[in-house]
Amino acid sequence: MSMNVIATAADRRVLDEGRGTRVMTWIMAIMLFLTVLSVALGLGMVNAAGALDRQLAGRLTVQVIAPDPARRAQETAAVMHVLDTLPVVARARAVDRDALNALLEPWLGDVDQDASIPIPTLIDVDLVAPGEDAFRHVVAGVHAAAPDARVDSQARWLAPVARFMRTLIAGAGMLVLVMAGATIAVVLLAARTGLEAHRDTIAILHMLGSTDIQVARLFQRRIALDTLLGGVAGTVLGMIAVWVVTAEAGRLGSALVGGGALGRGDWLILAALPIAFALIAALAARIAVLVRLRRAI
């Protein structure tokens, strides 16, 4: 089955309705613009989710919360000793006290000068391999050294964020499917309208010996060309919009937002969308025209 989507000059002379821009071209431009935004959102969320998993997989935070500074220092030393000896721990590092105070100062003031505010010691822990067994080993070791200490998994903290990202990815995928379905619907309508508008021309082509497949090829080429022209315009505008949003997001300095930046492969996927939609349109137009012509016989 031929799927040539390049309309020849003869094709355009037979079926062209005028030199003005066809409505379908504008519709496809809008459809591809929205599709590019949807695909870019989905790809960005996939990248951000992957970056989040890489950053948080196997990372724990230990809080030594003893209110007495001397006891807290003693328990911190004991916990650090235990973590350094556990085979499941790749690295353990106590958060710098000055850096922690600097983070809290805008809300609590100078916490070092206020003994009534006990600030726990925070220890970042990287596991050799993430897993529940490793987590339980760390919890047991930490509690043996400091019974009141808390061990938190950073991945558990951000589990709602991960779920939200997965929801956005699924939503973006659904939007792309809706756009593809709407494109097929527009193609079917355009094919049916074209058949009705060129009924006499098609009858003459049949009398001259043209087959249904040859007639269908005329429509599929024209509709594919309209889709491709509108799709390229919409894709270019959509990619410009995505680039502007990405550039603005990069200025935020957020590691999570930065992880959602599109890579070279993602941009190539966006650039290939008008070709994919043109092929879909050509196939839908061919099937629609052949079905319609065979019913008319």
Identify the top-confidence range among 9-23, 164-178, 228-242. Answer: 228-242
Q: Residue 259 to residues 52, 64, 172: CA-CA distances in angstroms?
A: 8, 31, 18
The pLDDT score that the predictor gives to residue 212 is 72
pLDDT band at 223 (very low <50, low <70, confident <90, very high): confident
Indicate whether 20 pLDDT > 50.
no
- What's the pLDDT band for 232 if we cut at 50, 70, 90? very high
- For range 70-78, the mean pLDDT: 87
Measured distance CA(295)–CA(293) in Å, rounded: 5
Give pTM, 2 decimals.
0.71
pLDDT score of 237: 95
Which range (45-54, 69-78, 203-212) has the least confidence?
Answer: 203-212
Could you tell me the two tokens for 125? 């822990």
| pLDDT score recorded for residue 21 | 43
Please report the pLDDT score of residue 276 as a whole number: 92
Task: Name the range with the highest mean pLDDT among 79-88, 189-198, 287-296.
Answer: 79-88
As a whole number, mean pLDDT of residues 142-155 equals: 84
Look-up: residue for tokens 């400091």? 146
User: What is the structure's pLDDT at 109?
Assistant: 61
For the chain, the average pLDDT equals: 80
Judge whether residue 2 has pLDDT over 70. Answer: no
Most confidently modeled range among 31-35, 51-55, 68-72: 31-35
Beta carbons within 10 angstroms of residue 265's beta carbon: 8
Collapsing DSSP to helix, strand or coil, 152 comes out as: strand
Please, what is the angle between helix 199-207 and helix 212-250, to 10°? 130
pLDDT, greater one: 79 or 118: 79
For position 238, what pLDDT does the model report? 93
